[in-house]
Structure 1
């Protein structure tokens, strides 16, 4: 008789067949210690809090034990990495424990990241240093509180072992939660091998799991393509709207479900400049801030190509349908982005005037080297000067913005809304508190070299309420000093 598992698994992806994954147990670690557990997320997923506080939970989260119902696998995929085709990738340091169904009926993957070698490790050790685990935990949870579609972090543990990168570093494992880990690169893997049957099986799975409404369309696979394009258009617009730079927008890092994934060399921009790059390996700025929409468009074109045999039996007609769908991405992304910018400026609806005003502001911000987050937040303060304390002590807008501010205020006034209502709209779209790169690095340094996780815990706590600013939190809203600026971030692979 099987013992009852504290996590109720239902592994639909595994049932697709052996060509989609390989069974692989995590590698046992020496001395796991708990860093953090996301109890609200665990409750939503139906995972018992009392069990999570036990040593049995720690051993499972470290990969030392396999829970009943879990059937660990490493999934296979391919991808374009920095534009270069790699026909064989896959989960090289991550193992999917299984899937759970949350209280609202939504299905999620539970994955251990940094859990040891797999058949797809490609000479890597399959491990993760502590730093990337803390970065992903902090940034993914911040993205969730900012309302951005994202994978989540359920737990983080140290392994009691060292991994070797630029030196010996403490190892760690992240338990990641995603609506699924199916990527553009997953489709590419089978399409590149002319395995149309596998592409169809994968597409049918995605339709059932993520886009069931498309099943009733005249052409479900075309509807799938269109809906994936729409979700990505909204996602990238959200990134642009909060100054987020992903850093490695390879096709294997774009999820079909529309969630942000793989927080490697990512960061929120401090000083606004459209060409900002953080990734230490992005030497030519391919994944710079201003390039993100174009790269998403490029990635989606490969997804469309993978689906072409399903779009129509006539190749020319299939190509035409794919091209027509892809052409909608940039207008859709820009539409979402302009609406976000309008809301950030206290305008309910985007217009040509709001787009012009926003473009002028961004140019002034670049010229004056203004902080992206604080500039918009300061404008929100100005929408109703009678409100409480704002970020004025952290950022004074230069005189060069005076003329722009007058035109902005004139346009906002045309809505005939109360100042408090305008400010409330702006505050909902302009965070004051983000996990700034220098603070993330500080938390990583303290945890790595001093075994002090209090900086991580505090930054996680502050980032959970990004729109609620009080002067006591000034440290977490203040841009870095010149000596604090972090110019490069790393994947940790």
Structure 2
């Protein structure tokens, strides 16, 4: 394992050296072989195994410092309160990827917290990141899950755990905010150059490398959020310190995959004002990017920064339209803009499951809408919409059956429903990881039928309606 330490070259203004503190009687209970193969990691090597678990110290491991806007208010100094960056590995694509341990113990940025993670949150992140990967949404990936016999205290004592995850980068919008608002121009310049060299090297050839890089950051962020909206994913805590400069979904906490269609759904029980509600995510993405752009006000003019931000909305809308056209098997964006608002009004009134509806839509016959109509109360209104949909879809040159096959590869059968995460966590806390692995399998291949696991595609039962997730998740 050829571990590199490029981030340390920026200097100690960017981090504090921190070692992983292994948990009491910790065990490696899950290892992601596909990620390991991509990063050329041999878990059978005793040395590699001990490095990844923290049992063998990595002298250049560190915790990052950054700032961030949290629920709209600025916090001038945050940082990895429970995370340790071991270093970077070169992937099969030639790019560098971070190895980052969650729940590694106290760091200088823990703010009197214990720096630990609980098994519940580590399982939720493992499942979510692999589900997002399978849905083609840029995301951090889980590499290894460790459980232990050490108790971690939240509302009640819970089993402690650690999650080793990878991402192209863990540099956040908050990194730039930290140095900008502290007036550390030299460090800010160094960070800009680092990101150009390691994340956006093609921009170095542009007339204005920084401007070119920021446009790409805006567009990556827009496309990421468009994908969230298309699949019904809600992040839950869209603070600027949780937004990746590389356009990846990171920091899975009180996230959720929407079940019944609710545009103003709030998955985070701690978000009392609904700042990060599902329908507000595109706007918050732009708000966060605006915070980021302020950090370059000494490098670019206001007009340049405004022009960069103006690329966000068309990029998000265009990509969202492309995704929804594929979900609905349509070819004309004008038809989409007519049909989609009407459909969302019906789904809201019917309390229709978002994922199940689009899966059913993929299965309707050219003249047989029964599989959808059997799921609604107001059949007349849905029939009227389906007639409009049939007329729009008939414009597509591809045969109806072939379009349906394409839709089945776009509309997942399985999503990570909150109650499923709860059930597998309950089993894992008793030492049974079979439900976790069964769920992980279908989430890793969400478009396949997995007929023996049909129960995992069902709507949440009544008892699960009261389940909540919060920032402690």
- TM-score, with length taken from structure 2: 0.96
Aligned twin of 2:441: 461
Change (3 A) 1:23 1:117: same
Partner Cα separation in structure 2 for residue 440 and residue 17 of structure 1: 40
Of 354, 359, 362, the match for 1:380: 362
User: 1:60 and 2:51 equivalent?
Assistant: yes
The gaps in structure 2 that reach 5 residues or longer are none
CA offset digits 1:129-187 (Å, max 9, x no partner): 11000000001001001110000000000132110001111000000101010000000
After superposition, the C-alpha distances for 1:24-71 in whole angstroms (9 at most, x for unaligned) are: 1112322111220001110110111422xx5x555433322225xx62
Q: How far apart, CA to CA, are the structure 2 residues paired with 1:178 and 1:470?
A: 29
Is the Cα–Cα contact under 8 Å of residues 153 and 174 in structure 1 kept in the other structure?
A: yes
CA distance in structure 2 between the aligned counterparts of 1:9 and 1:134, rounded to whole angstroms: 26
Per mean C-alpha deviation after superposition, the further-off stretch among 20-29 and 244-253 is 20-29
Counterpart residue number, 1:315: none
- Pair 383,334 (structure 1): closer, same or farther in 2 beyond 3 Å: farther
1:295 aligns with 2:276: no
Aligned positions of 1:94-105 closer than 5 A: 94-105=83-94
- Check the 8 A contact 1:155/1:174 in 2, yes or no: yes
SS at match of 2:66: coil
- Within 1, Cα distance between the matches of 2:342 and 2:60? 54
In the other structure, the counterpart of 2:258 is 269
Aligned counterpart, 1:325: 308
Aligned residue in 2 for 1:307: 296
> What is the CA-CA distance between 1:470 and the residue it aligns to?
4.6
Please give the alpha-carbon distance, in whole angstroms, between the structure 1 residues aligned to 2:433 and 2:157: 19
TM-score (structure 1 length as normaliser):
0.92
1:367 aligns to 2:361 (yes or no):
no
Match of 2:2 in 1: 8
1:338 maps to which of 302, 317, 321: 321
The offset of 1:343, in angstroms, is: 1.0
Counterpart of 2:394? 413
Q: Does 1:71 align with 2:60?
A: yes
3-state SS, counterpart of residue 321 of structure 1: helix
Structure 1, unaligned runs of 5 or more: 1-6, 312-317
Query: For 2:215, which of 200, 218, 226 is the aligned residue?
Result: 226
Residue number among 476, 479, 487 corresponding to 2:456 in the alignment: 476
For residues 281-334 of structure 1, give each alpha carbon's deviation from its aligned partner in whole angstroms, at most 9, with x where no partner exists.
1001101100000000000001111122122xxxxxx11111121122122212
- Is 1:46 the counterpart of 2:36? The answer is no
Could you tell me how far 1:392 is from its partner in structure 2?
Answer: 4.8
Q: d(CA) in 1 for partners of 2:177 and 2:283?
A: 19
Aligned residues: 471
1:118-129 equivalences in 2 (<5 Å) = 118-129=107-118
1:186 to 171, 175, 186: 175
Alpha-carbon distance in structure 1 between the residues aligned to 2:236 and 2:120: 16
